[in-house]
Structure formats: C-alpha cells, structure tokens
Amino acid sequence: MLRQSEHSLRQNSAFSEELSTNSSLQRNMPARRKTAKSASSSFWMKSLGHLLAISCLCGVISGFSDRDRAHDLMFMYPLIDGHNDLALQLRILHNNRLSQIDLHDIHKVATDITRLQEGRVQALMFAVYVLCGAQEKDAVRLTLEQIDVVRRMCTEYSDFELVTSVQELKKSKDRQKIACIISIEGGHSIDSSLPALRMFYQLGVRSMSLTHTCNTPWAESSSKLYSVFQRQNNSLTTFGKAVVEEMNRLGMIVDLSHTSLDTALAVMNHSKAPVIFSHSSSSSICNHSRNVPDSLLHELKKNRGVIMVNLHSNFISCRNDANISNVADHFDHIKSVIGAESIGIGGDFEGAKNFPRGLEDVSKYPALIEELLHRNWTDHEVADVLRRNFQRVFEEVERVRDELKANRPSEVQIPVEEVQNSCRLVLRPPNPRGLPSDQISSSRALQGPRGLLILTTVLLLSRLIMTE
C-alpha cells in the first residue's frame, strides 16, 4: 500500500505539471475560459488529494485489520484448547500445594488465569497425567491426586468452572468463565480396569488418551521409549475394544494422540462416536511419530473427528526452533486434505519446553489466528477451528451415549496373563503365618466341625502316648 501511495503522489505531481503547461499555453484565451479552466484544475487537484488521503488511510487500516478481526472473532468464539499440562507442573513445581500459589500469576509456566484471559481462551482440556513408570505400580492413586488438583483449582477460583457436558460448556461461555474439562493422558491410568474407568468418569473425567509414551496391555503407543507389552499384529486387543466401547457408552471422548497409527486406525474403525487427536500435527509437514499422516487424516474425516494442532516446536518444524508461519503451514495442509471443519488447537503448553517464536505462552493465541486470517482463512473457518469443531464432536459423543443408555456397564475383564503385573493382587485370603497355599487350605479345613473332631482325637491319642 505504501508503494501505491508513492505511485499516487507521482501521478498527482505529473498531473499538476501537465496542468501548469496547459495553463501557459492558454494565456491568450478569454478570461472567462481561463477562470473555468482554473476552477476545473482546482476541482481535480482536490479530488486527487482526497483519493490520496483515502489510499493512505486504507494502507493504515489494512495493517491492523487482521489483528482486529482476530480479536473480534476470539471475542465471539473464544478458544477451546484441547490440551494443557498445568496440573503436571503444579505437581512438579509445587507438589500440588495450591495454597502456596496464586493461579492468576504463576512463575516458571506458560499458563495462568491472567494470560488465559489475554489469549481469549475460554476452555481447556486439562490433562491428568502420570508417568508411564507408574503403570505397574500406583498409577491409579497418582491419577486420583491429579484429578483432585484440577478439581480444586477449577472450583476454588471463581474465574474457572468445572464442566462435564456440552451444555455446561456453553453456559460457562455465557457466564464468561474459563471452562475446565478433565482429560486423562494415558490409558495406563485405569490399570486395565473398566470399573476404574467408570469411577474416573464419575469424578468428572470426559476424555482419555489410550496411551502415552508406553504401550498398555491393550493398546499400542507411537513411542518406542518403553519396551513394555510388546505384541505382534495386535495394536488394539479384545480388552482394548471393550475400553473404547465403554467410553462410547459413558460419553467419554476417545483421544488418539500418542497412539500408534495401527491403534488409531483400529479405534476409528471400532468407535461409534467421533474421536480426537487432542495435540497432534501433520506428519506431511514434520515427519514425527507424534504427528498424523494424510492417510489417517482421511479416516478421521470419515469418523467426523477433529485433529487439534500441537504447537510444540519439535512437532511443528522437527527441530527446537519454529515460528508462527511454520505452525500455520500445518493448518493450511490439514485444511487442504480434510477441510477446516476437522481442525482444532491443542497447544500442549506445560507439556513441552520449546514453542514457536511469538507463541511462547497462552496469551499469544491471537497472533496465530491473525496469521490464519492473513492467509485468507474465512471467519467461518476460523470460528470452526477456535471452538465449533470440538463442540460438535463433544455433542456427537453425548448423542452416542444417549443412544447406548440401555446398555448395562461392561463386565469384561482383562485376562491375568495379558496384564503381566506382579503388583496386581490376585484375591486370596491372607496368610499371617507364611504357610504355603496348600497348607492354608488344610488349616482352613480344620476350622470346621469335622476339623475339630479330628483335632480332638489327635490330642487324646497324644495324651495316651505320653502317659504310657
């Protein structure tokens, strides 16, 4: 626009010179004609001046229009962030002692209430995550503790609001609250137990990723970091399918981020409800195992699910350094493959260290939206990405739940040999004397009436022998 303004100035100057030349040639004309010519030239000079001013003004406006549009859109459609690990950092940095911090201003993290409000973030899927090393130990206890800290921070602070349904999510937007949706990150948290899954639902959990960086006994991870539960050609076991079915019945969103490609495909073929990738990007742009290939994107489209683009630099540019343009490349590519109606945003703040320049914390989300608008994304497409796509998936998950409400809770149990967990108790009566199990059963038999008769006989015989 600046070049256009300079061009307009040059044209204006040339036109003035031409008028000046013509004026000198017409000096012998009658005064009336000269006066008319002078008035005409004045009119055109003023008109060109006005056009030049408008041109310059348009240049100024265009420099801010995408930013203004971004903020206006995010005011009407505030963001639903598909993945945030603040709860993990609260454990690491503060041992879950909320009394020692103010969630409006938290140091050493990228997420707090003040920055969420600045970034127009209206809802977050707060990840409840425990390390894979707890899988065969105390994963359930640790998960309960993380659920507790999320519930506390979202009930003790009036800016937050814990939500467990689409209706509550919509109401929280109307009340201008930041909605908290609890999501378990890693199926190892349920210890291969459908009753545990149901109890987590009762506590407010509305989403679960089937794996993290380790396989579970019933699903396969995209990571090779752990060598546990290795299987051949069985990426989703019979029990794994039962987990998906029970999540469908409960109305819990199935999250495929961190799963292997085979597991993700098997789940999409089995699930009755749409699924999400809560924090994954495009492997065509960055060929990382955590990202999603085009072939799987097409399956996601059939499933009516959503991929929520991860902002972690290593998943964006396949290196530690990235910028907003690199992030927007993922959005552009996914849109070209399956359309904007299948995309969301899952920042992964607090779960990773390196984020693109200009997207260092949750307050910077408007800069990403501005970049998409600059790339000619429509307001409708951006509104879908910001919240409407995720909201649609949540609604369809609840619709499937309502369709399955006549189904009884699943009583499927995983075979003991598939769990391979020495810490998993097989229910037996306690053995305080440390006797072998065969002797336990014998001693139990002696506690009945027949056992008492035998014991009395033995005592009598022993006395007779002693008296002799």
Q: Is the pLDDT of residue 447 over 70?
A: no
* Residue 373 contacts residue 383 (beta carbons within 8 Å): no
* 155 and 295 co-located in one domain: yes
| pLDDT of the residue at 135 | 94
Say which CATH number the domain at 100 has.
3.20.20.140
pLDDT given at position 291? 98
For residue 462, pLDDT beyond 90: no
Write b or e for each residue in 96-128: b if 16 or more Cβ atoms lie within 10 A of its Cβ, otherwise e. Answer: beeeebebeebeebbbbbbbbbebbbbbbbbbb
Q: Among 185-194, 251-260, 348-357, 441-450, which stretch is predicted with the lowest mean pLDDT?
A: 441-450
- In angstroms, the CA 298 to CA 276 distance is 13
Whether 23 is in a domain gets the answer: no
Strand partners, 387: none
Task: Evaluate whether residue 313 is within a structural domain.
Answer: yes
The pLDDT value recorded for residue 426 is 74
Q: Check pLDDT > 70 for residue 199.
A: yes
In a domain, 298, yes or no: yes
| Residue 429 covered by a domain | no
pLDDT digits (tens, 9 = 90+) for 294-352: 999 999 999 999 999 999 999 999 999 999 999 999 999 999 999 999 999 999 999 99
DSSP 64-108: HHHHHHHHHHHHHS-EEEEEE-HHHHHHHHHTT-GGG--TTS-TT
DSSP letter at 386? I
Q: Are residues 366 and 343 in the same domain?
A: yes
- Looking only at Cα atoms, what is the longest distance across the chain? 165
**Based on the domain organization, do 271 and 294 belong to the same domain?**
yes
Mean pLDDT of 162-189: 98
CA distance 155 to 168: 14
Pair 349, 236 in one domain:
yes
On whether the CB atoms of residues 345 and 384 are closer than 8 A, the answer is no
Kindly report the CA angle at 432 between 426 and 433, in degrees rounded to 5? Answer: 120
Is the pLDDT reported for residue 153 higher than 70?
yes
Give me the number of domains the chain comprises.
2
| Neighbouring residues of 398: CB distance < 8 A, sequence distance ≥ 6 | 165, 166, 251
Helices 261-270 and 294-303 pack at an angle, to 10 degrees, of 20
Q: How far apart are CA 216 and CA 197, in angstroms?
A: 14
- The answer to whether residue 69 scores a pLDDT higher than 60 is yes
Q: Which two tokens stand for residue 41?
A: 């030239």
Note the pLDDT of residue 3: 36
Return the pLDDT at 316.
98
| Catalytic sites, residue numbers | 83, 85, 185, 212, 258, 279, 348
pLDDT tops 60 at residue 461: no
Q: Are residues 50 and 97 in the same domain?
A: no
Residue-range definition of the domain harbouring residue 49: 1-13+44-65
Looking from the CA of 9 toward its CB, the CA atoms found within 13 Å total: 8
- The mean per-residue pLDDT over the stretch 421-436 comes to 71
199 located within any domain = yes
Residues 127 and 165 in one domain: yes
Residue 185: pLDDT band (50, 70, 90) is: very high
| 86 and 6 both lie in a single domain | no
pLDDT band at 20 (very low <50, low <70, confident <90, very high): very low
Average of per-residue pLDDT across 241-263: 98
Strands (E), 385-462: none
Model confidence at 269, pLDDT cuts 50, 70, 90, reads very high
The answer to whether residue 270 is domain-embedded is: yes
